[in-house]
Structure 1
Amino acid sequence: MSVDSTLLPEVRAVVQAAGARLRERFTPGSRPGDLDAVLAALQANDEASLQVLRKGLLAARPGARWAEDELAGGPLPAGEWWVTDPVEGNINHVHGMTDWSVTATLVRDNEPVLTVVHLPLAGDTYTAVRGGGAFRNGTRLSTSAKTGLEAAFVGTGQAKPGEGAETFRRIGQSVTAMLDAALVGKMSVPATLLLIQVAAGRMDLFWQYSDVRSGLMAGALLVAEAGGVVTDTRGEPWTPASRDFLAAAPGVHPAAVDVLSTIA
């Protein structure tokens, strides 16, 4: 058993503990009334989860460093880093929606090697260790067997508030192009909750114009370990330095690249 596999149960326990704290804070009737209320609720959730995550994960892997900004992108310095999203889909949580999770990914020299994604309301935990497969509650995952976009269920989403006009243009053009090629398209946040569907074979591909690490690292490892293909939208190997992202079932990946590579 690898060192990373040995570490997995401890990481899973920490992430689930953070999720339990957030579940206690969740109110289906939550309706923040203005931007100040939204921002205050987001920060309070982040702090509650981070109190559990930071202590537990740094203790589990002494020497690993902590990526502070969950919305940061680009490569990390060499070595091991914890890349987490204390409330992936926090905007959903504070508006009383159920689509949120807690994620923690160990990144080694800019490659994700271990990840845990926990959905407290569903009671589901998705895990992957590089080279060891991807799992939901201990059951192995595999990506879709589809071989073309004509039957594909595809998804994308906005990575963070305040994206620039150029990113919005690319999102809009890509959605139009993909809706013309695929069967059904879905646009929602957060990215990880669409990526776990790709890993599980329920959806066929996900793309995003972003380099936000915390929204992509966990899903990239899960999809790859479930047998999927992870690249940029032009089919080149994806790294944290890439400006965009594509994760797909093997049978639909070439056609997805054909569609998305037309977006400049």
Structure 2
Amino acid sequence: MSPVTTTDSDTALLGRVTSAVHAAGDRLRERCTPHARGVGLDEIVTEIHANDDAVLDVLKEPLLAARPGANWVDDELAGGALPPGEWWIVDPAEGNINHVHGMPDWAVTATLVRDNRPVLTVVHLPLTGDDYTALAGGGAHLNGVPLRASAKTDLGAALTGTGQARPGEDERTFHRIGASVTQMLIHGLVVRVSVPATLQLIHVAAGRTDAFWQFSDVRSGLVAGALLVTEAGGTVTDIRGNPWSPASPDFLAAAPGVHAAAVAALSPVA
């Protein structure tokens, strides 16, 4: 992902975005249960929509008010390039399926994208209170402490991860996921397959894991992590090593020392 810088107003905006995301997180935490909710698919989908509906209004009004003139992406599962200008890409319950199943791997995210480049992001984990934040050109932080990507240079020592972006992917995508996991099991150390993408990408930004890839263009799962990893000194491209943008068909974020080897390992399924 090509570097981009923020403005003074972006820096001031970060506090307002954090406040809005915290308020949304409080509401989502109130809805959290230690057990799974729903048995049949219809029940699970209903619970997922209920989470989104409960949180979205807490986010949308303050974010739009904080940035007059910015647009709002309504479909959190949409992909591809956006029209020029500023856009809020928000996931009111990133990892919603985990929340509904009583698991802790979920977050609230808000990212400001300017001309298809993320420039500001907040990822809030309500159960721990942690905030992962990044400003383009201003670094990535966890609760104010700078983040750095892994210093590893050997893919054979790398902890990597992937996962599906959404239910109902086409069969070719499922085959590519399976083949890519096999490739990385051969060339890497350990592969984690889980959702959501953002919660894997915060680990890449923090240097806890070394690479994450996904055969997807779902913007809401990638833009926050793309900015965090880039600002933490990591490398973000597509699977073939080309510069990444929301228009890219797939995604790879890696520690700089293992990025080229990750591209080579994934090349048979790219």
TM-score (norm 2): 0.97
Identify the residue that residue 250 of structure 1 maps to in structure 2: 256
**Equivalent residue number for residue 223 of structure 1:** 229
Q: Select 1:237's aligned residue among 243, 252, 255.
A: 243
Matched residue, 1:38 = 44
Residue aligning to 1:153: 159
* Aligned position for 2:94: 88
1:197 is aligned to 2:203: yes
The answer to whether 1:129 aligns with 2:135 is: yes
Q: Which aligned pairs between 1:97-112 and structure 2 lie closer than 5 A?
A: 97-112=103-118
Q: How far did residue 36 of structure 1 move?
A: 1.2
Residue 82 of structure 2 aligns to which amino acid in structure 1? L
Establish whether residue 51 from structure 1 lines up as the match of residue 54 from structure 2.
no
Residue aligned with 1:207, SS: strand
Task: Give the fraction of aligned pairs with identical amino acids, expressed as a percent.
Answer: 67
1:205 positional shift: 0.5
Where in structure 1 are there 5+ consecutive unaligned residues?
A: none
CA RMSD of aligned residues (A): 0.8
Question: Does 1:164 find its partner at 2:156?
Answer: no
CA distance in 2: counterparts of 1:177 and 1:30, whole angstroms: 33
> Over residues 18-39 of structure 1, what are the superposed CA-to-partner deviations in whole Å (9 max), with x where a residue is unaligned?
0000000101123311111101
* Alignment partners' CA distance in 2, 1:31 and 1:55: 29
Counterpart contact for 2:213–2:253, Cα < 8 Å: yes
Which residue in the other structure is 1:186 paired with?
192
Which residue of 69, 76, 80 maps to 1:63? Answer: 69
Q: Is 2:150 the partner of 1:144?
A: yes
CA distance in 2, matches of 1:187, 1:214: 19
* Contact kept? 2:112, 2:118, Cα under 8 Å: yes
The one-letter amino acid paired with 1:38 is: I
For residues 28 and 56 of structure 1, the distance between their equivalents in structure 2, rounded to whole angstroms, comes to: 30
Q: Secondary structure at the match of 2:207?
A: coil
Q: Deviation of residue 109 (structure 1)?
A: 0.2
1:149-179 Cα deviation digits (max 9, x unpaired): 1110000000000000111111111000001
Q: Which runs of 5+ in 2 are unaligned?
A: 1-6
Residue of structure 1 in register with 2:32 after alignment: 26
The one-letter amino acid paired with 2:125 is: L
Count of residues in correspondence between the two structures: 264
In 2, Cα distance between the equivalents of 1:83 and 1:66?
7
Inter-partner Cα distance in structure 2 for 1:260 and 1:78: 32
Q: CA deviation at 1:51?
A: 1.0
* Residue 75 of structure 1: aligned partner: 81
Q: Is the 8 A contact 2:122 2:131 kept in 1?
A: yes
CA distance change for structure 1 residues 31 and 44 in 2, over 3 Å: closer, same or farther? closer
Query: Which digits, 9 at most, give the CA deviation of each residue in 1:63-99, with x for residues without a partner?
Result: 1000000000000000000001110000000110000
Output the CA distance in 2 between the equivalents of 1:28 and 1:51.
25
Which has the larger displacement, 215-224 or 254-263? 254-263
The aligned amino acid for 1:99 is D
Could you list the structure 1 runs, at least 4 aligned residues long, displaced by more than 6 angstroms after superposition: none
- Aligned residue number for residue 268 of structure 2: 262
